[in-house]
Amino acid sequence: MHPCGTMLRAHLTQIAEAAAGHVDAESLEQPLREVVGQLADVLGTGETIDTTPLREAGADDLLIGRLLRASETEIIELLRAPSNGESFASSVLSLRTSIRKSLPESAFNPQAVIRYAQLMESAGSTSDPADLLRHVLQFVREVVFIHDINGNLLYVNEAGLQMIKYTREDLMDGLSVYEIVVSQYIDLVEERMAAPSAERLSPFTIEVYAKDGERIPIEIDSRAVRDGLDGQPVFVGVGRDLRLEGRLHSDIRKANTHVENLLALAPAGILLTGPDGVIREANPLAVSLSGAPSANALIGLDLFSLGDGDEDEIRSALSYVMESRKDHRFSLSMRSRFGTMVQCEAIVAPLELDDGTLDGLLVLLECGTTHGAALEERVQENSLASLGEIVARAAHELNNPLTGIYGYAQYLHEAVEKSAHKERLARIMEEADRCRRIGDNLLAFAKRGERKLAPHDINSILREAYSLCEYPLRVDHIYVTLDLDPKLPVIPCSAQDLERAFLNLIHNAHQALVTVEAGVRRLTLTTRQEARSIHIQFADTGSGVRPDLHHKIFEPFFTTRDVGQGMGLGLSVAYAIAVEHGGTIRLESQSGKGATFTMMLPLQHSATEEAR
């Protein structure tokens, strides 16, 4: 038996169920299972399989052909995962050979392929339209194809054949769109074939199989021609290979991501300006150093208007760089327009285009490390604020079309009668609803609405949060100790927001503790007053956090859990709530020795905060 035959045997039901569903022939699932079982035995031998079980169950030649091809596509996907490139291609070619030999005789006429080839390749004078068409088809890089009303391919140009790795001889043997179109896109192709009278239909994107099983994304634009060479309607289309476009987009996204990461993590403040000195970009550290509330507050400002002090030196430095096109370093001391004292070394460098034109200036601000912790906190705060705005806009934009998708799917689910269609529509509704829930979570993360501050007892808020988690903690054998200072003063805060932050921190500890297999699973909740602030500690005996991850732990969407186990927003939300109350959160941890998260809240807010 072929090495892949055993795998097919183990997945007979899965293959038959999926293939029968693709062609809306669920009643033929059992006989199709028998036929696929034969295929497992003859795979690699070149022998044909007996399709009698399908014929006895009422399937005609056309339906048998569609069932075999649908099974073929399901098997290709089954073989793809465990195989390497060479063995996968070999297995696919063996599979195609057995399927092709077993297909019933069809109404396909090979002479039609010859006639279309002769038309496209006919030579003549330069004024002959056919000759001009031949030259066009020879040099165009897009796929040009013609198929009949049953999906039989009558013509594919050289570029198209090279893309799908078939030959003219394969066309003569009979090649169908059902054989090369990936199964989940067959409905789109059939809808196009079912409407030959349509004057013009929009392009659509599908995936096709190459002969060796490679999946290729392609954009299709086709229309019906009522009178083909034999007087029957045919479909003429053009396809565009999307692989290169996808790679280019991916490379651009990667490059942009790398640049953004470099700017965000750079140990210096970075400002990019136009040739006029107006700021175009600012990284988080530059925002923090200037005391600006966000990067948007800096963008559009003239460098000269950033603050008071050393204006002449700044102007002289910029003029020197613009005229000499050389770097210049100088000491900067000024109070920014946002009220922060900026004292650092500044480096200004010219940014030139290929033709030597000055495109702008690069300004680097290098400061000492004495205020490193404070700067890191400011960067984190500004990153959260900026990301919150972006996330809120994105979530709103996504929720609108998702609501429409869900509504239309629900309407169609109630209107259609075929069970296969109902299942697919139900799946659409489930996925749309899941996306909508994700959008709601993102909006909750980004929400920065007005908060009503009122005097509250922190111990009471912490007890309430713990009561909501007490049962699942007890089920997972986690011992909780509450060490709460009874003399804590009340502070102005949003009880609802703090309870949410406490729940996130308790949940984070819970997730860390359930992975502990040996030793006691313990969580200690502590409150203390330290000088002019209240400290709330969440100390667990879990696996801890590696030191190299400490600086990332509060970043939005960063998580140490497995894919699908969390969005990485819990700690970010807790941090954002602490910052909104004028406080912060610190982490103390070593790998394998547990972790302690301490939220520090001031006893009093500024007048600005209390007015919000």
Q: Reduce the secondary structure of 531-564 to three states and give it as a string.
A: CCEEEEEEEECCCCCCHHHHHHCCCCCCCCCCCC
Q: Tell whether the model's pLDDT for residue 366 goes beyond 70.
A: yes
Q: Which residues of 143-154 are buried (b: 16+ CB within 10 A; e: fewer)?
A: bbbbbbeebbbb
Do 196 and 279 lie in one domain? The reply is no
pLDDT at res. 371: 42
Q: Which of 73, 102, 131 is the last residue of a domain?
A: 102
In a domain, 261, yes or no: yes
- The reply to whether 13 and 87 lie within a common domain is yes
Residue 343 identity = Q
CATH of the domain at 133: 3.30.450.20
Q: What is the mean pLDDT of the chain?
A: 77
pLDDT band for position 375 (cuts 50, 70, 90): very low
- Same domain for 604 and 482: yes
Rounded to whole angstroms, the Cα distance separating 66 from 104 reads 10
Kind plus residue range of the DSSP H or E element containing 263: helix 243-265
Residue 476 resides in a domain: yes
**Residues 591, 507: one domain?**
yes
- Between residues 456 and 98, which one has the greater pLDDT? 456
pLDDT in tens, 502-555: 988 998 899 889 888 878 899 999 999 987 889 999 999 988 887 777 767 777
Q: How far apart are CA 600 and CA 494, in angstroms?
A: 15
The confidence score (pLDDT) of residue 611 equals 37
In the structure, what pLDDT confidence band is assigned to residue 563 with cuts at 50, 70 and 90?
very low
For residues 505 and 590, membership in a common domain is answered with yes
Q: Clarify whether residues 114 and 90 are in a common domain.
A: no
Within this chain, do residues 572 and 520 fall inside the same structural domain, yes or no?
yes
In terms of average pLDDT, the best of 290-304, 372-386, 390-404, 518-532 is: 518-532
The CATH number given to whatever domain includes residue 530 is 3.30.565.10
Q: Which of 241, 272, 295 is the last residue of a domain?
A: 241
Predicted local confidence at residue 481, as pLDDT: 93
Structural domains in the chain (count): 5
Per-residue pLDDT tens digits for 302-345 = 877 777 655 667 777 778 888 888 888 877 777 787 777 777 88
Could you tell me the two tokens for 263?
Answer: 């700017």
Which of the two residues, 276 and 408, has the higher pLDDT score? Answer: 276
- Tell me which residue range forms the domain holding 20: 5-102
pLDDT at 355 (0 to 100)? 75
- Any domain includes 246: no
Asked whether residue 398 falls in the same domain as residue 545, the answer is no
Structure tokens at 505: 């921190």
**Tokens 């495109």 belong to residue:** 359
**Region of poorest pLDDT, from 138-152, 435-449, 546-560:** 435-449
Q: Are residues 288 and 413 in the same domain?
A: no
Residue 397 belongs to a domain: yes
| Within a domain: 580 | yes
Most confident among 53-67, 80-94, 117-131 (mean pLDDT): 53-67
Q: What is the pLDDT of residue 232?
A: 76
- Which residue among 53, 69, 102 closes a domain? 102
pLDDT tens digits for range 160-214: 898 899 998 888 888 888 888 988 888 888 877 776 665 555 678 888 999 888 8
Establish if 259 belongs to a structural domain. yes
Q: Are residues 458 and 519 in the same domain?
A: yes
Does residue 2 register a pLDDT over 80? no
Which has more pLDDT, 388 or 606?
Answer: 388
Asked if residue 116 and residue 35 are part of one domain, the reply reads no
Q: Are residues 145 and 222 in the same domain?
A: yes
Considering the entire predicted model, what is its pTM? Answer: 0.38
Q: Which residue has the higher pLDDT, 590 or 12?
A: 12
Q: Is residue 247 domain-resident?
A: no
Find the helix or strand (DSSP H, E) in which 319 lies: helix 311-324
Q: Which of 123-127, 384-388, 575-579 has the lowest mean pLDDT?
A: 123-127
